[in-house]
Amino acid sequence: MEKLISNYHTHTYRCGHALPNPDIDYVNKAIELGYKNLGFSDHAPLKGIHHPSMRMDFEKDFPGYISSIRSLEEAFKGKINIKLGLEIEYYSERDDYYKELLNDYHLDYLILGQHLRYDSNGDMDLYWRHIDDFEGIRRYVDDLILGINSGYFTYVCHPDLFLNHVKSLAPEVLKMFEDICLAAKKMNLPLEININGDTNNKYWALKHCCYHYPSVEFFKVAKKIGNKFIFGVDAHAPWDFDKINYPYFDEFLKETGITSSDILTELSF
């Protein structure tokens, strides 16, 4: 794995589960490590949804988020390229909202990160509640593919996120790998190899006897189908940039067959 020069998956304190560092700390750490590009993509607000442990609030946090990142973009021009984005699930019933974010708020990009749905009361409806009978996985995959096909997103982050709750790679699961990868290939959307999945989430999954992301098995399928890839730190603290286990990902790439020609090192906006 080559040393990263770009990261487009960066969170801020506003999502409620990142560290309370100011935004500038992420910029300074990225510059210190020699990054050329830094994209902020905190968990997007959803109008009418108040979920302070998961995402920023539309009225309270979103205006300040835009102002802060745009100010940093201007202040550090010539030192690092800063971009403003959001990580967001795709919900077909909110289709116009994605146009609003891109056109009215002039975001540089959106990344597709499917985590959960909300029920009619605005409460979390986790895909994983029905994962043992594959209903939850199928819902995750179907919603993810709707998002891929929507045309609003620059890439798909942690496409294999659901594996944190999967205990067996049954044929039905392997078929869903293919469904995701084929949809992304058709739309020419890169799939993210999520670094945070190794540094933080792997140990929870293994403790509960599950697979974890990023998954060698998933990315073997993606390599076979011919997808493009991008690494994402998925930073929730500035020092996450320092925690990248390069030897681990060297072995990961070797096992999956992914080469440097398959990986995007930076994006064009």
pLDDT, position 202? 61
Which CATH class name applies to 6-264?
alpha beta
pLDDT, position 204? 59
The one-character DSSP state at 199 is: I
- Of the two residues 65 and 129, the one the predictor is more confident about is 65
CA–CA gap between residue 116 and residue 39 (Å, rounded): 23
Lookup: tokens for 98: 């994605």
pLDDT, position 210? 72
Mean pLDDT of all residues in 220-249:
96
> Is the CB of residue 74 less than 8 Å from the CB of residue 260?
no
Torsion of CA 189, 71, 233, 35, to 10 degrees: 100
pLDDT, position 200? 65
19-58: pLDDT as tens digits: 999 999 999 999 999 999 999 999 999 999 999 999 999 9
Q: Exposed, middle or buried, 182 (CB in 10 Å: 0-12/13-18/19+)?
A: middle
State the angle between helix axes of 246-256 and 216-225 in degrees (0 to 180), rounded to the nearest 10. Answer: 50
Please say if the pLDDT value at position 5 is more than 80: yes
CA–CA gap between residue 238 and residue 86 (Å, rounded): 18
Q: Which of 176-180, 194-198, 208-212 has the highest average model confidence (pLDDT)?
A: 176-180
CA–CA gap between residue 28 and residue 93 (Å, rounded): 39
Query: What's the mean per-residue pLDDT of the chain?
Result: 94
pLDDT, position 55? 97
Instruction: Give pTM, 2 decimals.
Output: 0.96
The number of angstroms, rounded, from the C-alpha of 134 to the middle of its chain's C-alpha atoms is 23
What is the identity of the amino acid at 160? D
Domain boundaries, the chain: 6-264
Residues 6+ apart with CB under 8 A from 265: 2, 4, 5, 6
